[in-house]
Structure 1
Amino acid sequence: MPRLFAGLEIPAEIGQRLANLRGGLPGARWIDPENYHVTLRFIGDIDGISANEIAYLMSRIERKPFKVEIRGLSSFGGNKPRAIVANVEPSKPLLELQAELERLVRRCGLEPEGRKFTPHVTLARLRDASCRDVADYLSVRGYFPTQAFTAEQFVLFSSRASTGGGPYLVENSYELCAGVRAA
């Protein structure tokens, strides 16, 4: 059974700038830059028939390319920090694409996503990192000048069952087109 998710790839040059922020945080397991992405919808472990149906329906999405802005760093997990992330500006086109993917996946019979969509790029997963260490790290490296790119496609990724962080494989990519196809 494939474990799937839809997302946006991060351009290599931005990934390298993000990778330069690695280090200096006890308990951090840093993600390899080639695995940086923005998850639009986690799909999970599904059978091949459902995977093919989802892949087909994704090919029917018609959206224009849009600007993606990565602004600053933060952490997830509150008093029990679990990740260091680069924040992604929740622009209208990004939110609309995510909402369309959510509707599509639910139409295929999957449960609704349990968490509110918070666009981000995971840089590190944390294990036993103290709030103080995370605060210190963010005070030193938390200012990250805005990095922008144009999303010209979204991707269906697969991953093997693991504790997270990749490797991720591109199963299919879907172009975002400036023109609209005739129905």
Structure 2
Amino acid sequence: MNTIRTFLALPVSHNTEKQLFKAQEIPLHCRRTNHPHITLLFIGDTTPEQLSLLKNTLANFQWPAPLNLHTTRIAPFPKNSSKILAAFVEPNSHLNELQKKLAEEFRNNGLPCDHKRFSPHITLARSKSAIHCHYKPVDIEFVVEQAVLFQSELHSEGSRYLALQKYKLKR
């Protein structure tokens, strides 16, 4: 059976991306990510039937107003000496509620999704070896106006993301 890897995310604007990369120099041994985003739900291997149900569920979801968010620091993720460099996003009741409602909607519709604790962050770079750097306070405010259903393709040089469907956060 043919499946694709999918996840639902909140993309950050090009301007926010530029501010984040300006705030933190990326170590030479790291590879910058394309399409920086906050992952709401990692869905994983998705069949064509599940993809159809997924798109329908998301199209009928009651999306909230755009979210005002801000970063707190840039550091290895999920802990020091990890292989990911990320911008941590300040906990926000609206963001947490959105993620919780989406996970509940997925469960109610029999859709798969990752059940890890939600820890909002924006992946900036990845490395094959541990990233050793001290965290740097970075307070960048930004607004998220849409959610995107992405397909993730694994390649030797890293993951590539393809936007499958976009969903506007309602005003």
TM-score by length of 1: 0.80
More strand by share: 2
Distance 2:168 2:119 in 1: 23
CA contact (8 A) 1:15 1:36 kept: yes
Q: Secondary structure at the match of 2:133?
A: helix
CA contact (8 A) 1:2 1:46 kept: yes
Task: Name the amino acid aligned to 1:134.
Answer: C
CA contact (8 A) 1:81 1:134 kept: no
Identity value in percent: 28
Matches within 5 A, 1:25-44: 25=27, 27-32=29-34, 35-44=35-44
Q: Aligned pair in 2 of structure 1 residues 70, 165: CA closer, same or farther (>3 Å)?
A: farther
Q: Which has the larger radius of gyration?
A: 1
CA contact (8 A) 1:43 1:105 kept: no
More helix by share: 1
What residue number does 1:171 align with? Answer: 164
Deviations 1:158-178 (A, max 9, x none): 121346854211111111213
Distance 1:7 1:149 in 2: 15
Distance 2:58 2:113 in 1: 17
What residue number does 1:181 align with? Answer: none
What residue number does 2:61 align with? Answer: 61
Q: Aligned pair in 2 of structure 1 residues 12, 77: CA closer, same or farther (>3 Å)?
A: closer
Q: Aligned pair in 2 of structure 1 residues 59, 111: CA closer, same or farther (>3 Å)?
A: closer
Task: Name the amino acid aligned to 1:125.
Answer: R
Q: Secondary structure at the match of 2:71?
A: strand
Distance 1:155 1:164 in 2: 23
CA contact (8 A) 1:41 1:102 kept: yes
CA RMSD of aligned residues (A): 2.2
Distance 1:70 1:164 in 2: 28
Distance 1:22 1:66 in 2: 27
Distance 2:85 2:100 in 1: 25
Distance 1:79 1:175 in 2: 35
The total of aligned residue pairs comes to 167
CA contact (8 A) 2:146 2:169 kept: yes
Q: Give the unaligned 5+ runs of structure 2.
A: none
Q: Secondary structure at the match of 1:105?
A: helix
Distance 2:46 2:153 in 1: 12
| Residue 91 (structure 1) aligned with residue 92 (structure 2) | yes
CA contact (8 A) 1:153 1:173 kept: yes
